[in-house]
Amino acid sequence: MSKVLITGGAGFIGSYVSRKLLDMGHEVVAYDAFVHYISPLKSVIKDYFELRFEGITDQVDFRRGDTRDKAHLRRVILETRPDRILHLAALPIADLSNRHSEEALTSILEGAVNVLEVIRDVDFVDRFVYISSSMIYGDFEEIPAPEDHPKRPKDIYGGTKYAGEVMTETYSRRYGIPYSIIRPSAVYGPYDVNRRVSQIFVENALLGKPITLFGGGHQALDFTFVEDTADGIIKVMFHDKALDNAFNITYGHGYTLREFADILKEHVPDLEVNVVEEEDVFRPKRGALSIEKAKKLVGYNPQVSLEEGIKRYLDVYQNLAVFDQK
Ligand SMILES: NC(=O)c1ccc[n+]([C@@H]2O[C@H](COP(=O)([O-])OP(=O)(O)OC[C@H]3O[C@@H](n4cnc5c(N)ncnc54)[C@H](O)[C@@H]3O)[C@@H](O)[C@H]2O)c1
């Protein structure tokens, strides 16, 4: 059995990976600075952290710490001696990365390099798993976009995530660090708090508020249910064929925002949908990513269509008191 240290382990994706790893019998250390990107005053679910770790709080070794603080990070890694390190900690929102570019650089790039620096000096870490993003590709020139698609990020988030990939590969070549790179996209599901489009749509629908489709709602995203993302991350983390390799881990299908809204409306018929033709020209034009490589090499097989994922998301939230205010 393995011991996995997850930077950003208390976050949305990290909590699902933690639960799955514990189910499989592995040990989990969650190294997390407990950062809020969205004002807590705007958060609908105030106890999301408790909900994320319901029933497993005592099984996770939580360590408060910031990846930018290399001395502390080193101390925790030396104390806990994980054999895998999954690196999720990062400012995770593209819009914020453009407004807070300094924070994006330190949080995304410096944090990743610090982890690599510590791994360089120890001999017990068998795999560094770097979580990148589909935003490194920029506008998709080919759909579905394969891993060798040109990398032309259009914002600071995509640029710094890509720089982190380059540094991961460089440290591996120079110091022999075994790594895997994962590029998720548009992950959605219960307990996301970063006000991504999926969260806003679902919460507004349950609170009786309207939703707005910008760009006419034609923009397609490879919406991926968080359980599939967690499953893909774990498959890549442990598979020999994923060694020193990069993978798209998504559902593998592009759904437009209008399609998302239509599915939501089937469950919440009163939902008011407003359409605005204006769009953000800096947002990369995306769509489906190719997941053939992950299917072939590590047996990744996502299970949850957007129809099913929205249903599961709503099912969980319908039991939360906060949505009874409607
Ligand atoms: N959610 C998505 O759609 C998506 C898509 C592609 C890539 N990603 C990447 O996946 C990762 C996790 O995203 P998420 O959606 O779970 O976000 P999240 O905000 O829920 O989780 C990030 C966690 O990292 C922690 N953190 C941030 N900076 C830190 C630092 N410097 N030191 C220690 N901890 C720190 C935060 O406290 C938080 O718990 C990020 O790297 C993000 O860029 C997410």
Distance 237 CA to ligand 1 centre (A): 17
For the segment 183-230, what is each residue's pLDDT rounded down to a tens digit? 999 999 999 999 999 999 999 999 999 999 999 999 999 999 999 999
Nearest CA to ligand 1 atom 35: 89
Helical residues (DSSP H) of 191-275, grouped into ranges: 197-207, 226-238, 257-267
* pLDDT (0 to 100) of residue 281: 77
Distance 309 CA to ligand 1 centre (A): 21
- 161 Cα nearest atom in ligand 1: 43
Candidate from 7, 19, 34, 35 with most ligand 1 atoms within 8 A of CB, to mutate: 35
Signed CA dihedral, 150, 156, 162, 166: sign only: positive
The span from the CA of 132 to the CA of 38, in Å, is: 21
Specify the long-range contacts of residues 119-125, CB closer than 8 Å, at least 24 apart. Answer: 119/77, 119/85, 119/171, 119/177, 120/171, 120/175, 120/177, 121/74, 122/77, 122/78, 124/81, 124/82, 124/83, 125/77, 125/82, 125/83, 125/84, 125/85, 125/177
Distance 249 CA to ligand 1 centre (A): 16
**162 CA to centre of own chain:** 15
Distance 92 CA to ligand 1 centre (A): 5
The neighbouring-strand residues paired with 248 are: 183
- The residues lining ligand 1, judged by C-beta closer than 6 Å to any ligand atom, are 7-8, 10-14, 32-35, 66-68, 88-90, 92, 107, 111, 131, 133, 184-187, 194
**79 CA to centre of own chain:** 27
248 touches 194 (CB < 8 A): no
179 touches 128 (CB < 8 A): yes
Distance 270 CA to ligand 1 centre (A): 33
Residue in 193, 194, 300, 181 with CA at minimum distance from that of residue 250:
300
Nearest CA to ligand 1 atom 44: 92
pTM here is 0.97
| Per-residue pLDDT tens listing for the chain (326 residues) | 999 999 999 999 999 999 999 999 999 999 999 998 888 777 777 788 899 999 999 999 999 999 999 999 999 999 999 999 999 999 999 999 999 999 999 999 999 999 999 999 999 999 999 999 999 999 999 999 999 999 999 999 999 999 999 999 999 999 999 999 999 999 999 999 999 999 999 999 999 999 999 999 999 999 999 999 999 999 999 999 999 999 999 999 999 999 999 999 999 999 999 999 888 777 899 999 999 999 999 999 999 999 999 999 999 998 887 776 55
245 touches 182 (CB < 8 A): no
Distance 243 CA to ligand 1 centre (A): 23
**147 CA to centre of own chain:** 17
Nearest CA to ligand 1 atom 25: 8
Q: Which CATH class is domain 3-325?
A: alpha beta
Distance 277 CA to ligand 1 centre (A): 31
Distance 13 CA to ligand 1 centre (A): 7
- 135 Cα nearest atom in ligand 1: 6
Candidate from 131, 181, 233, 255 with most ligand 1 atoms within 8 A of CB, to mutate: 131
Q: Where do the structural domains in the chain lie, given as residue ranges? A: 3-325
Candidate from 16, 19, 32 with most ligand 1 atoms within 8 A of CB, to mutate: 32
Nearest CA to ligand 1 atom 32: 66
Distance 272 CA to ligand 1 centre (A): 31
65 touches 29 (CB < 8 A): no
